[in-house]
Amino acid sequence: MIIILPKAHYDLHLQLQDFKSVSDYNFSMFNISSKLKLYGDNIIDGDMLEKTFFTFHASNVFLQ
């Protein structure tokens, strides 16, 4: 737990454009959020959506 929780918080700063597909991004996001939930951090769907929208490139902001 000492290593997993800080690493999950660090990994949460992933970017959508770093993945080949949205499916790969979603898999990573849900994997990280399940680790956070397992160790007591409460992350809700709204937080995950906000994080995803925040990672869009500036030219794609109008898509939100």
Handedness of CA 53, 51, 43, 34 (dihedral sign): positive
Neighbouring C-beta atoms of residue 29, cutoff 10 Å = 21
Q: What is the pLDDT along the chain (64 residues), one digit of tens a residue?
A: 567 777 777 777 777 778 888 889 889 888 888 888 888 887 777 777 777 777 766 665 555 5
Torsion of Cα atoms, 30 then 28 then 26 then 62, to 10°:
110
pTM of the model: 0.65
Q: What integer pLDDT is reported at residue 63 of this predicted model?
A: 53
Length of the chain: 64
Q: What integer pLDDT is reported at residue 22 of this predicted model?
A: 82
Break the chain into its structural domains and give their ranges: 4-63
Cα Rg of the chain (Å, integer): 12
Q: What integer pLDDT is reported at residue 62 of this predicted model?
A: 58
Q: Are 34 and 5 in contact (CB under 8 A)?
A: no
Query: What tokens does 62 get?
Result: 């109008």
